[in-house]
């Protein structure tokens, strides 16, 4: 099991501690794949998947918990996220973390759900070798809001809070930050459909047919704007392809990486 470490960054006028893990750190000559978790995720919630995929791809990996999640610094007592919360993660937290960890290469990014959106945003302004996005959001859909409302009810009325507490030092920080902004009426008009047009690296966009948090319009919208996108609609799969269809996803990621590992450098020069 990968060792958990902590990095300190200055963010939002305070010092923030970021939980992270290196995977296959000894593979110093291999590319780096950075994992960006979902809206309720953390380093621990990925479980063994980052290690499994990095072994398949023969890559190094970096897994971390965003501020407010996992063992990273929780949200401040009165901290409320604004509609640009994913932009701030992409444009402020990731660069600060890379600087703290002396990462100066062009990484590959794998993002799930909100993490997929953050990966797309980061790649729109920073050099990235390639993107793998699982159930990303580029706009807000009615289905997403309905499912998050159901999750909020389950958090209050079932054992969901207890189950999530295994993955977060402050589970109310994690759930509250995510649910409050997604259900904020000001967030309903959020979109990154125009911003992603500046992405030049290869993109693999994967969506489960049975995803309860988003429709195929999300990844099809990416492909409409980015001609270099490979779309995968995964049957018998919900919101988490890496949990529902891990072997199939590994095979798809391996083929994608083999196809683009030598061409991504040229693509990202633009």
pLDDT tens for the chain, residues 1 to 270 = 689 999 999 998 899 999 999 999 999 999 999 999 999 999 999 999 999 999 999 999 999 999 999 999 999 888 889 999 999 999 999 999 999 999 999 999 999 999 999 999 999 999 999 999 999 999 999 999 999 999 999 999 999 999 999 999 999 999 999 999 999 999 999 999 999 999 999 999 999 999 999 999 999 999 999 999 999 999 999 999 999 999 999 999 999 999 998 764 433 333
Looking up residue 205, the CATH number of its domain turns out to be: 3.40.50.1820
Residue 204's domain spans which residues?
4-267
Q: Report helix, strand or coil for 208.
A: strand
Long-range contacts formed by 23-27: CB under 8 A, 24+ apart: 23/50, 23/51, 23/54, 23/60, 23/61, 23/62, 23/63, 24/51, 24/54, 24/55, 24/58, 24/59, 24/60, 24/61, 25/60, 27/58, 27/59, 27/60
Using only C-alpha atoms, the chain has a radius of gyration, in whole angstroms, of 17
Q: Which helix (H) or strand (E) holds 4?
A: strand 4-11
Please tell me the total count of domains within the chain: 1
Q: What's the pTM value of the predicted model, to 2 decimals?
A: 0.96
Q: Under a CB-based contact definition with an 8 Å cutoff, are residues 193 and 221 in contact?
A: yes
């Amino acid at each position: 099991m990968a060792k958990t470490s902590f990095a300190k960054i200055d963010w939002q006028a305070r010092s923030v501690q970021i939980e992270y893990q290196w995977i296959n750190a000894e593979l110093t000559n291999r590319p780096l794949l950075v994992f960006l978790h979902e809206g309720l995720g953390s380093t621990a919630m990925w479980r063994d998947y980052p290690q499994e995929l990095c072994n398949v791809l023969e890559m190094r990996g970096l897994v971390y918990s965003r501020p407010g999640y996992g063992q990273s610094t929780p949200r401040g007592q009165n901290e409320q996220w604004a509609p640009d919360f994913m932009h701030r993660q992409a444009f402020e937290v990731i660069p600060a973390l890379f600087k703290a960890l002396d990462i100066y290469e062009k990484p590959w990014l794998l993002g799930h759900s909100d993490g997929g959106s953050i990966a797309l945003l980061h790649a729109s302004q920073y050099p990235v070798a390639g993107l793998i996005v699982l159930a990303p959001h580029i706009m807000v859909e009615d289905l997403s809001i309905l499912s998050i409302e159901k999750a909020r009810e389950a958090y209050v009325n079932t054992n969901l809070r207890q189950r999530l507490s295994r993955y977060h030092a402050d589970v109310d920080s994690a759930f509250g930050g995510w649910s409050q902004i997604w259900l904020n009426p000001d967030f309903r008009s959020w979109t990154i459909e125009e911003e992603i047009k500046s992405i030049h690296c290869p993109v693999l966009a994967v969506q489960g047919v049975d995803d309860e948090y988003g429709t195929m319009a999300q990844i099809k919208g990416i492909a409409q704007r980015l001609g270099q996108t490979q779309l995968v609609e995964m049957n018998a799969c919900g919101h988490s392809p890496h949990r529902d269809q891990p072997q199939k996803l590994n095979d798809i990621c391996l083929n994608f990486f083999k196809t683009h590992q030598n061409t991504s450098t040229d693509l990202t020069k633009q």
